[in-house]
Structure 1
């Protein structure tokens, strides 16, 4: 049954030869000087485009940077190198490429005004809190990319893969956040990139091995192969734990925010023409925005209702449409 599925996904009549794949993914094969020149030129340009898109909060510009970014080439080269047990220098290229993109982000961070709230930028906020679903999507995207590289007849999917897998934008976000001293946000974006990188490598290894691009069993260096799989497995486990923890934290925040919204509705229900417009949590602070025509009700009643429903360490801030801001203190008093 498995062989039948593989034959449908990777038909022998459409598979590219190992030499063709090496020519595409190994920057040291063939005309390495031209390949490296194209790689570094396009990576630099894509980083600049991504930085501009992130700082202007332009989704279209960021997508453009994704399409032309060549970083997936050496990453897939890592997968092929592990399967074929070849030393290609792809790891070094990926590391240097990451440092280049992060550096571009740091340089562009100087144009961000002091006091600018990075989390109000959707391009930043969307890449600093990855979860398990991001990893699942990255695995599927990596598989699609590897299949597209392995088959001659589906190369048209590769631009879509470039858009679906986020490589350069999160690295730019890492640089921007580092430049502004937002270390936790930078760490979140770095985890997103690392999860995408590992997903590409893992999916690429599976597909390339299934495509017959690996070396014969009798010619394998079992010690070298086991070492590579062990390192990849440890990194994958580490990222999985981080993403699982962040997913759990995100779900808890959503539960607490929902409970806070219900408490806030009860808090303003007895005041005529008063309503809650927004409740959100950011940086251990619960923000409650209300529409009122006069003074809001005493915030002590809100804090009392929140006790036992949300963590005591959460601070509560009430903001009104009249421009008032009330620091209510922590839920636990």
Structure 2
């Protein structure tokens, strides 16, 4: 009771009827609610697709603010607390299909030679980690508390941006259309982690605030919560492995860069511009005015720094310095 009063003062507490009106698309005027949901979902998907393809952060943020997917997802949480079906799951599933389809159609405009990972909007959503899960959980808690209070509606756009529900699904569609199935799976994991975090956070907050209508245990609700819990644990394991892999790859790239720089000390003026890992191949970008030291020396230096069997390629940019002199002299 003390926690409930601290989170939601009595004067600001919304009623169950108010929450149901906002989160249950089947409550009240159904045709109007359905029309608003699907129209905004399609438009936000198109905006997100345009932002992803053009690598425009501002455009993608606009799609996040408009996206209505958080409504049925929070409706799932409310349905679990009330132990009453509200059809929210079908709206979520249908919404996912619509957004992924928009992404698939958008992929038709992407050239076959286009490197998806060169696009920050795509690369940033195809390799999620534990930090994304923690951020989604915190955003879900903020969103659930804001929904339960009458004085915190201004928080909801920020929650929508933090959760990022539509852009990852657009990326799933774009990557599927381009045949990049591993990247598509990464973006799908990001979406699922956001979805599960939002449902967990909503269920927790609504239960703590006493929105449970019937205190008697219900097997169906228990099974549903257990299913979401199992999915959450699985996603946490996947994200933990992904995070560990990120750190490992960063360590490999750092070692390759340092040892390549040591190798180049025998070539005056040569420098390492960068190191990148594409698939299982390490690419070392080098700028050098002349010939490079023997490659065998680099191979020996890299032994033990990279996994056995990983190819290493040195890409050289040739150039020479020209002293133009003082302008006007």
Q: Do the two structures share a fold, i.e. TM-score over 0.5? A: yes
The reply on whether 1:222 has 2:254 as its aligned counterpart is no
> Is 1:260 aligned to residue 259 of structure 2?
no
- Alpha-carbon distance between aligned partners in 2 of 1:297 and 1:158, rounded to the nearest angstrom: 58
Mapped partners of 2:217, 2:98: distance in 1: 33
- 2:171 aligned counterpart, secondary structure: helix
Determine the C-alpha separation between the residues in 1 that align with 2:8 and 2:255: 50
What CA distance in whole angstroms lies between the structure 2 residues aligned with 1:82 and 1:98?
20
SS in 1 for 2:108: helix
Q: Is the 2:196–2:232 contact (alpha carbons within 8 Å) kept by the matching residues of 1?
A: yes
Q: Hey, what's the Cα distance between the residues in 1 that align with 2:241 and 2:221?
A: 30
Is 1:319 equivalent to 2:319 in the alignment?
no
Aligned residues: 319
Deviation for aligned residue 1:221: 4.5
2:202 equivalent among 201, 204, 213: 204
What does the per-residue CA deviation read over 1:107-139, in whole Å, with 9 as the maximum and x for residues that have no partner?
Answer: 010010111100000000000000000000000
Report the counterpart of residue 169 of structure 2 in structure 1. 171
Q: Does 1:244 align with 2:240?
A: yes
Aligned to 1:328: none
Runs of 5+ consecutive residues of structure 2 not aligned to the other structure = 320-329
Distance in structure 2 (CA, Å) of the matches to 1:60 and 1:87: 37
State how far apart, in whole Å, the 1-side matches of 2:12 and 2:126 are.
39
Contact (CA 8 Å) 1:15, 1:211: kept in 2 or not?
Answer: no
Once the two structures are superposed, the pairs formed by residues 133-144 of structure 1 within 5 Å of their partners are: 133-144=131-142
Secondary structure of the residue aligned to 2:38 is: helix
Match of 2:96 in 1: 98
Distance apart, 1:37 and its partner CA: 0.4
Alignment pair present for 1:275 and 2:268: no
Runs of at least 4 residues of structure 1 off by over 6 A?
Answer: none
How much has 1:230 moved relative to structure 2?
A: 1.0
* SS of match in other structure, 1:289: strand
Q: Distance in 2 between matches of 1:12 and 1:295?
A: 76
What's the offset of the Cα at 1:229? 1.2
Report Cα offsets for 1:309-333 as digits up to 9, x if no partner.
221132111111129xxxxxxxxxx
Q: Normalising to structure 2: TM-score of the pair?
A: 0.95
Distance 1:255 1:10 in 2: 46
Report what 1:291 is aligned to.
287
Q: Kindly indicate whether the alpha-carbon contact (under 8 Å) linking 2:288 and 2:318 is maintained by their aligned counterparts in 1.
A: yes
Q: Which runs of 5+ in 1 are unaligned?
A: 324-333
Q: What TM-score do the two structures reach when normalised by structure 1?
A: 0.94
CA separation in 2, counterparts of 1:150 and 1:313? 56
Work out whether 1:192 is the aligned partner of 2:186: no
Q: Distance in 1 between matches of 2:183 and 2:110?
A: 15
Q: Is the 8 A contact 2:23 2:71 kept in 1?
A: yes
Instruction: Give the match's secondary structure for 2:273.
Output: strand
Which residue number in structure 2 is paired with residue 52 of structure 1? 50
Conserved in 1, the CA contact under 8 Å of 2:82 and 2:214? Answer: no
- Equivalent residue for 1:39, pick from 18, 37, 43: 37
Q: Which residue of 2 aligns with 1:84?
A: 82
